[in-house]
Amino acid sequence: MRSALFSAENLEKESAQPGMRLQNSKMLKIELNGEAMARVGSMVAYQGQVQFQALGSGGLGKFLKQKLTGEGVPLMKLSGRGDVFLAELAKDVHIVDLEPGDALSINGSSVLAFDSTLQYDIRMVGGAGMASSSGLFNCVFTGHGRIAITTKGTPVVLNVDAPTYVDPQAAVCWSANLQTGYHRAEQLGLGSLLGRSTGEAFTMSFAGQGFVVVQPSEEPPVAGSGAQEQQGGLLGGLLS
């Protein structure tokens, strides 16, 4: 049987070392020998002796935070020995290596998988005291290990060396040490009163020294986010 489908670039990539690596730009391969964490529903194939256990948002504390904020990562634990292939709606997959002392803040919708050696928590985005269509909480990862994130299209990495503003649905992840806030991008005036809008009422602001990764697509607003945002001011002190 002959076909370009069976070309070398489409064949499974083998490695002598366990861990996660890119099978291609849209698919992650984890050569599992122990445990790893992955987004629920992201498994597209596996080989070997692998068990899957749903974890909700990663423990009772994170589960309660997710229920209150609408944010977080619905997780499953992968355990055993074998090859697991993960993907998310044909989005681009990128691998980030975290070293001790690193901290990465990331939208939960962009998390595909991560090593079980990493820790994460759900935290309120600083300065998010006004209403917007985006979530007010994100996941902060720390520790030593690899994390796979997804983007809709090829992203741009902005070096934050000046005040930087990003559409909340386009912000994928950023240095956790950056100061964040929400900025009113659209000025209220006659146009607003007449129902005219630029569609960019609020942007996220970033200041300090670090980076922010921006995808060329906006995640759709989460249903019910308005109610969640109204809760934000009341819950921020409880969840910090």
Distance CA 71, CA 74 (A): 9
Task: Judge contact between 213 and 167, C-beta under 8 A.
Answer: no
Per-residue pLDDT, 126: 59
Q: For residues 97 and 75, is the Cβ–Cβ distance under 8 A?
A: no
Q: Calculate mean pLDDT across residues 102-120.
A: 91
131-147: pLDDT as tens digits: 444 445 688 999 999 99
Tell me what pLDDT residue 220 has: 58
**Nearest-CA neighbor of 182 among 231, 129, 227?**
129
Percent above pLDDT 70 for the chain: 69
User: Containing H/E element for 45?
Assistant: strand 43-56
pLDDT of residue 72: 54
Residues 155-167 pLDDT 10s: 999 999 888 999 8
Average the pLDDT over 82-99 and give the result.
Answer: 96
Supply 2's token pair: 């002959």
- Using one digit for the tens of pLDDT, what is the confidence trace for 22-77? 999 999 999 999 999 999 999 999 999 999 998 754 444 544 444 433 445 678 89
Q: What value does the mean pLDDT take over residues 67-89? A: 79
6 vs 175 pLDDT, higher one: 175
- Is residue 191 predicted with pLDDT exceeding 70? no
Determine the Cα–Cα distance for residues 161 and 176; give it in Å rounded to an integer.
15
Q: Does 201 score more than 50 pLDDT?
A: yes
Confidence label for 96 from pLDDT (cuts 50, 70 and 90): very high
Is the predicted pLDDT of residue 14 greater than 60, yes or no? yes
